[in-house]
Amino acid sequence: MSNIVDPLVGQIAARVRTERERRRWTLAQLADASGVSQAMISRIERGESSPTAVVLGKLSAAFQLSVASLLALAEGTPDEAGDGAGVRRRTEAAEWRDPATGYRRRQVTSPRFPAEIAEILLPAGARVPYPAAAFAFVRQVVWVLDGRLTFHDGDTVHELEAGDTIELGDPTDRIFVNNAQAECRYAVILARGTRP
Q: What is the pLDDT of residues 32-47, one digit of tens each?
A: 999 999 999 999 999 8
Considering the domain architecture, whether residues 184 and 112 belong to the same structural domain is answered as yes
Number of domains within the chain: 2
Residue 50 has pLDDT above 50, yes or no: yes
Q: Write down the pLDDT at residue 163.
A: 97
* Three-state helix/strand/coil letters over 90-144: HHHCCEEECCCCCCEEEECCCCCCCEEEEEEEECCCCEEEECHHHHCCEEEEEEE
Query: Which is more confidently placed, 52 or 1?
Result: 52
Maximal C-alpha separation, the chain: 45
Residue 134 has pLDDT above 50, yes or no: yes
Query: Which is more confidently placed, 151 or 75?
Result: 151
- In single-letter form, the type of residue at position 51 comes to P
Domain extent for 171: 92-192
Q: Which of 1-10, 83-92, 115-124 has the lowest mean pLDDT?
A: 1-10
Q: Write down the pLDDT at residue 36.
A: 93
Residue 136 has pLDDT above 90, yes or no: no
Considering the domain architecture, whether residues 32 and 62 belong to the same structural domain is answered as yes
Q: Tell me the pLDDT band of 7, cut-offs 50, 70 and 90.
A: low
Considering the domain architecture, whether residues 146 and 103 belong to the same structural domain is answered as yes
Q: Are 94 and 107 in contact (CB under 8 A)?
A: yes
Considering the domain architecture, whether residues 54 and 138 belong to the same structural domain is answered as no
pTM of full prediction above 0.85: no
Q: How many CB atoms lie within 10 A of CB 156?
A: 8
Q: Are 70 and 17 in contact (CB under 8 A)?
A: no
> Rg for the chain (alpha carbons), in Å?
16
Q: Write down the pLDDT at residue 61.
A: 85
